[in-house]
Amino acid sequence: MISKEDIDLETYDKLEKFTQKVLQNMKTDGIPTTPEYYKIYFQKTLAQENDYELRKHISKLNKRETKEETEKILEYEEKLDSIAKLNKEMLKNIQSTYKKNNYLIKFIQQSEKQSQSLVTPKAIHIFFKKLNSTISQIHNSLQKDMDVMKELYSKTLTLLKNIESNKIFDTKFHVYKKEYFLSKIKQEVEISKKLNFNSYLMVMKLDKTTSLQLKNILNNEKANKFFAKVIQSKFRKDDIIGYLDNGVFGIIFSNLNEKDVQKVAVKFSDILNHSSMYINDEYLELHPVIAIQKLKDEFYLQNINQALQLLDKAYNENISFLIDY
C-alpha cells in the first residue's frame, strides 16, 4: 500500500490525480470499476501518461510491491526446501534404525541357537560376554539414531507450525483465513478512502431456524462446509471471501452505490435461500441471514464489529438481511 511516507507530497498529489484519471477513463468507456478492470485500465492509462517521471515512479512502486510478493514466495519455498531436507535426513535415519533392528533380531536368533550347544561354564561365560557387548553396542547406536530422530522431528514440526500460522487460506472451508481477510478489509478501507468510492462488507451465517435443526457440533460443521461451497459457487472468482469464526463468512464488495448494495442483498439472500443438503439422511434447507456494512471508518475493526452486531440483530429477529449505508 502506497502512503505519503513512501513518496514526496508533489508526487503523491500527481498520483492522486492519476488514479482519478484512471476512473474517469473507465467511466467514459462504460467499464465497471471493479478491482480487476481497474488494474487493466491502470496499466492502459499509465502507458498513455506523458509525465515520464511519474511513469517511472509508479513503475518503481509496482516493482517494489512485486518484490515484496516475490520475497514472501521465496521465504515460503525456503521453508519447504528445509522441510524436504529434514525429511530426507529423517528417512536416512529411519533406514539406519531399521537395518540395526534387523541385525539385532537376527543376532538374538542366532545366539539362541548357539546357546543350546553350550555345556561348559567357560563357554557360557564367553557367550554371554559377547552377547552383552554386541547388544550394548547396538543399543548405543540406536540411542544415537533416536536422538537424531527427535531433533529432526522437532525442527520439522517447528517449520510446519510456522507455515501453518502464516497460511492465508482456510483449508476447512476453502476461503481466506480470518487474519488475512481482516488485512484485506483494512486495505479496502484505505483504497476506497484514497480513490473516493464506497466499499461494503457483507457478513452472513445460517439463520436461527437452520441452526436449531443442526443437532450437534459435527452436523453444524458439515452444514457450514456445504454453505461455504454454495457461497463460493455463487460469487465471482475475484470476490474476496473469508471466514470470521463461529459460522460467519464475509465478502468484500468494491465500488458500489446504495442501489447496487440493495440489489446484492436481495440477489444473494434469494440465491442462498434456495440451497439444501442432506445430513444423516435428513433433508435440510439452508437459510442464511445477511448483514451489509459500509466500510466508512478508517478504524476498520469498528466496521467489522458493526457488521457483526447487525448480523446478530438479523439472526435474533429472523430478518433475511439488514444494511447499514
Distance of alpha carbon 83 from the chain centroid: 20
Residue 41: the pLDDT is 75
**Cell, residue 26:** 473507465
**Which domains, from first to last, does the chain contain?**
75-165 (1.10.287), 170-324 (3.30.70.270)
Phi then psi for residue 25, to 5 deg, are -60, -40
Residue 216: the pLDDT is 78
Residue 319: the pLDDT is 92
**Cell, residue 55:** 511513469
Rounded CA separation 198/40 (Å): 20
CA distances from 129 to 110, 123, 132 (A): 15, 10, 5
Residue 60: the pLDDT is 64
Q: Are strands 282-286 and 175-176 parallel, antiparallel or unpaired?
A: unpaired
What is the pTM (predicted TM-score) of this model? Answer: 0.59
Q: Which residues touch 21 (CB under 8 Å, ≥6 apart)?
A: 45
Rounded CA separation 147/93 (Å): 10
SS3 252: strand
Rounded CA separation 264/294 (Å): 13
CA atoms within 13 A on the CB side of 74: 6
Q: Note the pLDDT tens digit of each residue in 313-324.
A: 999 998 989 998
b vs e for 191-211, b when ≥16 Cβ sit within 10 Å of the residue's Cβ?
bbeebeebbbbbbbbbbeebe
**What are the beta bridge partners of residue 240?**
252
**Cβ–Cβ < 8 Å for 65, 22:** no
Residue 36: the pLDDT is 61
Distance of alpha carbon 265 from the chain centroid: 26
Low-confidence ranges of the chain (pLDDT < 70): 1-8, 12, 33-37, 40, 57, 59-74, 76-77, 236-238, 297-298
Rounded CA separation 141/135 (Å): 10
Residue 61: the pLDDT is 63
DSSP symbols for 162-230? HHHHT--EETTTTEE-HHHHHHHHHHHHHHHHHHT---EEEEEEE-HHHHHH--SHHHHHHHHHHHHHH
Rounded CA separation 20/15 (Å): 9
* Residue 150 burial (10 A CB sphere; 0-12, 13-18, 19+): exposed
User: Which amino acid is located at 318 in the chain?
Assistant: N
Computed on alpha carbons and rounded to an integer, the radius of gyration of the chain in Å comes to: 31
